[in-house]
Amino acid sequence: MTLDLPQSLAELLDQAVTNSPHGISLISGEVHWTFADLDRDSEQRAHFTNAHVEIGGRVAIISENCLEMVSQFYASSKAHVTSVMINARLLPAEQLGLLARSRATVWLGDEACISALAPLAPREVTLATWAEALAESSEPREDFDKGALPAWLLYTSGTTGTAKGVPLSSTNLIAAAANAGVARHFGDQEVLGLPFPLFHIAATNLLMAHLRARPVVLIKGFEPDMVSALIAKHEITALSLAPTMIRRIVDFQQESPTDLSTLKTIYYGAAPITPSLVSEASRVLSCSFSQGYGMTEAAGNAVFLDGEAHQRGLEGDVALLSKAGVAGTLTTVRVVDDDGHEVTPGAHGEITLAGPQVFAGYELEDGVSEATFDAYGGFRTGDLGTLSANGYLQLVDRKKDIIITGGENVSSLEVESALCEHDMVKAIAVVGRPHRQWGEEIVAVVVGAADFDEGEVRAFARERLSGFKRPKVYVLVEALAVNATGKIDKRALRDLVASRAW
């Protein structure tokens, strides 16, 4: 399939303005910006950027979701500089470390973030709030080869060590946005609700909507009552959520029903959804579901399980609901052995991704190793899985999340999928804990129902899991540790488990 795609984020915005100048581009609170409004604001921000950053330089963005943040994405592209995305929810000292590594000479963001960083910033760095980062004019910049310049630089969550800098070109980002739009059948009547933070790779969902010149409702944080109200108010048709968010909004709707009749599809990722949750959510929310599997290094989702597949799963083919899906139009997925060569269909191996949305490699610096690629040029993701003859990808686990107990490899994902089917288990994450005899023992960190009975859950586990796969310890918590995108933070949970006295 051939897609006529823009070559840069600036060109993407130009196309949207040409096609729908008076169409709504962004909604935040009571403010609505048309694509013409967004273009005007981004032009002023591009002038400011021109005045402070050389071509090929870097501008750091430290902000919660807002109109101005989106505008700067396009402004940076117009000014031919890289937007460095910094997690606004880190402590200033943590942000400072990433900012120093990024080599950004201008730091922009909301007032709270910039005020906190100001006393720590080096003298040679320019800091400005969104209100200050505007200019009426600047010296024009000649066009040049944009293909060599990263449009965005993001840092991985660092759950296994040093956060890695991931440079993504305009080609990577636009290909990811186009891939998602085709796989999700994102059409000309959609309104996208986006509660994920824009400093994360989920921001490519915004580009997906703007490729079709459609509105995005920016949502700060996630509270189910607030999100439900926004769906009704702005007639949101598509909503991007993590499975933990779906659980919360389903619970809220059962307690305090809100009119969600415009909501057609929920896009989710970070983990496969459980059959029981997708069944319950489908009934309560009366919408379809679309899963996406991907990562920062692939500029977002690259494998998709669409609404039709979910429906087939609900109608009896339950095994489909545990699949990650099939490769997007612009992506090639392989499962390879340790030497990087493709395994036979159905065999276990490491998942690799190739295509225009996949990055070329990490930003190399102390503590960061080079990215690895398979014999066919695909990025080795570190995820283990199988690929069926008809193209369905099945995740087995992250390499780092495989628990080795008594010489046996246990998939934490398999244990989680089995136990979360019990009504007393509201949420679960399974991790390994060092054990003198077995090497590791399996620990289940559980958010339990009010009537949680560990004995009953252990009996449930005996019916579904071999002895070596069953958790030896259950730890009850009020909520699972998650990162900014709602993905379960297993490093934090391992630390929690390790810190407890047994």
CATH number at residue 350: 3.40.50.12780
Domain assignment present for residue 23? The answer is yes
Q: Are 188 and 182 in contact (CB under 8 A)?
A: no
The CA distance from 88 to 65, in Å, is: 9
- Which pLDDT tens digit goes with each residue over 199-248? 999 999 999 999 999 999 999 888 999 999 999 999 999 999 988 789 88
3-state secondary structure of 32: strand
Q: Are residues 229 and 167 in the same domain?
A: no
Report pTM.
Answer: 0.84
Q: Are residues 375 and 433 in the same domain?
A: no
Q: What is the pLDDT of residue 3?
A: 63
Q: Are residues 14 and 120 in the same domain?
A: yes
Q: Are residues 257 and 304 in the same domain?
A: yes
The CA distance from 149 to 163, in Å, is: 21
3-state secondary structure of 306: coil
Q: Are 475 and 496 in contact (CB under 8 A)?
A: yes
> What is the number of other CB atoms lying within 10 angstroms of the CB of residue 495?
12
**DSSP assignment string, 420-459:** TTSTTEEEEEEEEEEETTTEEEEEEEEEE-TT--HHHHHH
Q: Are residues 58 and 115 in the same domain?
A: yes
Question: What's the rounded mean pLDDT across residues 479-488?
Answer: 76
- The answer to whether residue 270 scores a pLDDT higher than 80 is no
Residue 329: name the closest of 183, 162, 494 by CA: 183
Q: What is the pLDDT of residue 159?
A: 44
> What is the number of other CB atoms lying within 10 angstroms of the CB of residue 377?
13
Q: Are residues 379 and 304 in the same domain?
A: yes
User: What's the mean pLDDT when you consider all of the chain?
Assistant: 91
Q: Are 414 and 479 in contact (CB under 8 A)?
A: no
Q: Could you tell me the CATH number of the domain that includes residue 416? A: 3.30.300.30
The CA distance from 81 to 277, in Å, is: 43
Q: What is the pLDDT of residue 272?
A: 55
Q: Are residues 311 and 358 in the same domain?
A: yes
The CA distance from 79 to 485, in Å, is: 29
Domain assignment present for residue 183? The answer is no
pLDDT band at 311 (very low <50, low <70, confident <90, very high): very high
Q: Are 418 and 461 in contact (CB under 8 A)?
A: yes
Q: Could you tell me the CATH number of the domain that includes residue 160? A: 3.40.50.980
Q: Are residues 140 and 24 in the same domain?
A: yes
Q: Are residues 289 and 416 in the same domain?
A: no
In whole angstroms, how far apart are CA 85 and each of 252, 288, 312, 332, 425?
Answer: 32, 31, 39, 27, 36
Domain assignment present for residue 215? The answer is no
Q: How many domains does the chain have?
A: 3
> What is the number of other CB atoms lying within 10 angstroms of the CB of residue 97?
13
Phi and psi of 49, rounded to 5°?
Answer: -65, -45
Domain assignment present for residue 196? The answer is no
In whole angstroms, how far apart are CA 383 and each of 151, 242, 336, 393?
Answer: 26, 19, 11, 11
Q: Are residues 378 and 446 in the same domain?
A: no
Q: Is the Cα dihedral 80, 216, 239, 310 positive or negative?
A: negative
The CA distance from 293 to 323, in Å, is: 10
- Which pLDDT tens digit goes with each residue over 117-146? 999 999 999 999 999 999 988 777 776 655
* Residue 154 lies in domain: 9-171
The CA distance from 324 to 146, in Å, is: 33
pLDDT band at 160 (very low <50, low <70, confident <90, very high): very low
Q: What is the pLDDT of residue 486?
A: 65
Question: Which residue has tokens 């036979």?
Answer: 344
In whole angstroms, how far apart are CA 488 and each of 79, 311, 409, 491?
Answer: 37, 26, 21, 9
Q: Are 243 and 277 in contact (CB under 8 A)?
A: yes
- Which pLDDT tens digit goes with each residue over 461-481? 999 888 889 999 999 999 998
In whole angstroms, how far apart are CA 413 and each of 336, 339, 399, 404, 407?
Answer: 20, 25, 11, 14, 18
Question: What's the rounded mean pLDDT across residues 261-274?
Answer: 83
In whole angstroms, how far apart are CA 289 and each of 272, 285, 324, 391?
Answer: 11, 10, 13, 20
- Which pLDDT tens digit goes with each residue over 359-374? 999 998 877 788 999 9
Amino acid at 201: I
3-state secondary structure of 155: strand
Q: Is the Cα dihedral 491, 293, 214, 192 positive or negative?
A: negative
- Which pLDDT tens digit goes with each residue over 40-87? 999 999 999 999 999 999 999 999 999 999 999 999 999 999 999 999
Domain assignment present for residue 179? The answer is no
- The answer to whether residue 502 scores a pLDDT higher than 60 is no
Specify the DSSP element, H or E, that contains 84. strand 82-86
Eight-state DSSP code of residue 87:
-
> What is the number of other CB atoms lying within 10 angstroms of the CB of residue 287?
18
Domain assignment present for residue 210? The answer is no
- Looking from the CA of 437 toward its CB, the CA atoms found within 13 Å total 1
